């Protein structure tokens, strides 16, 4: 696994460390930007052609459940997977130019959601924001 922290979080979630999961994490670490499922399959197949597609999806699911990977929406509306330093659920700004992402601190999001809940009598269970644009270095 990429790091001991990642390893521990997988084990803590009752999940096992396998060769295949290593490959998926490695692919995401090398990219340092969100990848489409297809890109992950291709990257993994390059170092180990025997890894099945189903395993890649299962791994992404397991990594997301452990809070290691976040599912984001790429420009064009297609889903992508992102390996994050930050732990737990959070939101991202996605640069349409360089493809990199910026973590959005929860402190910026919580007041907004609270306001929405109060204004509409709505209880938020889950939220995910797709914010696309240009990062500071791409302007």
Partner DNA sequence: TGTATAGTGATACACTGTCTCAGTTTCGGG
Partner DNA sequence: CCCGAAACTGAGACAGTGTATCACTATACA
Give the binding site for its own copies (CB under 8 A): 71, 73, 77, 79, 93, 95-96, 102, 104, 108, 112-113, 115-117, 119-136, 139
The CA dihedral of 33, 38, 40, 41, to the nearest 10 degrees, is -170
DSSP-derived pairing of the beta strands 79-83 and 101-104: unpaired
Residue 96 CB, nearest distance to DNA (Å)? Answer: 17
Kindly state the smallest distance separating residue 63's Cβ from DNA, in Å: 10
Q: Which does 129 bind (CB under 5 to 8 A by kind): Zn ion, DNA, its own copies, none?
A: its own copies
Please list the residues that pair with 95 across neighbouring strands. 133
Dihedral of alpha carbons 105, 17, 26, 57, sign? negative
Residue 53: which of Zn ion, DNA, its own copies, none does it interact with, CB under 5 to 8 A by kind? DNA
State in Å, rounded, how far the first CA of the chain is from the last one. Answer: 35
Q: Nearest distance from residue 83's CB to DNA, in Å? A: 15
């Amino acid at each position: 696994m990429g790091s001991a922290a990642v390893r521990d979080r997988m084990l803590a979630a009752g999940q096992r460390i396998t060769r295949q999961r290593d490959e998926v994490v490695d692919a995401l670490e090398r990219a340092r930007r969100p990848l489409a499922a297809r890109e992950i399959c291709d990257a993994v197949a390059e170092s180990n052609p025997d890894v099945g597609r189903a395993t890649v999806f299962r791994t992404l699911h397991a990594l997301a459940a452990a809070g290691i990977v976040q599912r984001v929406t790429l420009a064009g509306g297609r889903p992508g997977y992102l390996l994050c330093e930050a732990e737990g659920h959070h939101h991202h700004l996605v640069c349409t130019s360089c493809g990199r992402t910026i973590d959005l601190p929860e402190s910026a999001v919580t007041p907004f959601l609270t306001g929405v809940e109060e204004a509409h009598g709505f209880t938020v269970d889950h939220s995910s924001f797709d914010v696309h644009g240009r990062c500071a270095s791409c302007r």
